[in-house]
Chain A
Amino acid sequence: MVQFTPAQLDASFAAISDATRRGILERLARADASITDLARRFRMTLTGIKKHVRVLERAGLVTTEKVGRVRTCRLGPGQLDGALAWIDRHRQLWAERFDELDVVVAELKRKEQTNGRRRGK
């Protein structure tokens, strides 16, 4: 993994604390995209997407290149790993926990309903 300075890591965390920006990174992880592609994908204005891309660019998570009239965005080299990987791992951990919690709680709910019916008789 690439080594980060703390300031870089902070900028990265700030950049990915937003759902749209995380979505952009996930999209770019699959393939490069133009600003227009991203705007369409996230149903936002070009200006809105540009703002998000700028934040990601400042954090070094995304690089852009303008060829002719099209600005293409791609993931910044290696920068993604530290911050996004951490958040993603943390989210996966909790998503798994919560999915199991759903099962446990649904069971409690069923039990309560059954007992409630019994008591009601």
Chain B
Amino acid sequence: MDAGGESEPTPMNERTKVERTSDRDVVVTRTIDAPARLVFEAWTNAELFRRWWVPRSYGLNLLSCELDVRVGGRYRLVFRHEDSTMEFFGTYLEVTPHSRLVWTNDEGDEGQTVTTVTFEESAGGTLLVVHDRYPSKEAVDLGSTGAMPEVLDQLDELLASMG
């Protein structure tokens, strides 16, 4: 990473790190101040999950959130967006309590994105690593998470044009 080998001062506010590790892979890391079993619960209990998954600034209304967290189980999130709804859905491929979750994102037209989340406990905290593997380089830019703000930009434009 650091070709020069010098120490890299990390700004204090950079707790959430995002790296594009290849043209198809995006890795997000963050340490949460709690044991892995509690963090895992917040990722697998639908009532808890829906409280944090959708950023408030997106202004999306989460209509329903169903998580059938077991191998082969499906999940489905439905959002209200003005007069229409958006859905995100897929299947859990791996479920290892307190340490690993793997699921597919099936809603994209570009093919399946596979998300792997690992929970690594150390010194009472949990290092979360969220790895998205997109089906293609092109799909990264159209990725569900990446596309959402653009949808909102479009909405802003629409609202502005309506005066």
What is the interface of chain A, defined by CB distance below 8 A to chain B? Answer: 6, 10, 13, 17-20, 23, 42-45, 47-48, 51-52, 55, 86-87, 89-98, 100-106, 108-109, 112
Contacts and interface: CB of A to CB of B under 8 A. Distances in A.
Interface of B: 1-11, 14-21, 23, 26, 28, 30, 32-34, 38-39, 41-42, 48, 51-53, 55-57, 128, 130, 137, 140-141, 145-146, 148-149
Name which of A10, A102, A106, A112 has the most chain B CB atoms within 10 A of its CB.
A102
Contacts of A87: 18, 20
24 contacts: A17-B20, A17-B21, A19-B10, A23-B11, A42-B9, A43-B7, A44-B6, A44-B7, A48-B5, A52-B3, A87-B18, A87-B20, A89-B149, A90-B28, A93-B145, A94-B16, A94-B28, A95-B16, A102-B33, A103-B52, A104-B51, A106-B34, A108-B34, A109-B38
Contacts, number: 110
Contact of A47 (B4, B18, B38, B146): B4
Given A48-B4, A86-B146, A43 B9 contact: yes
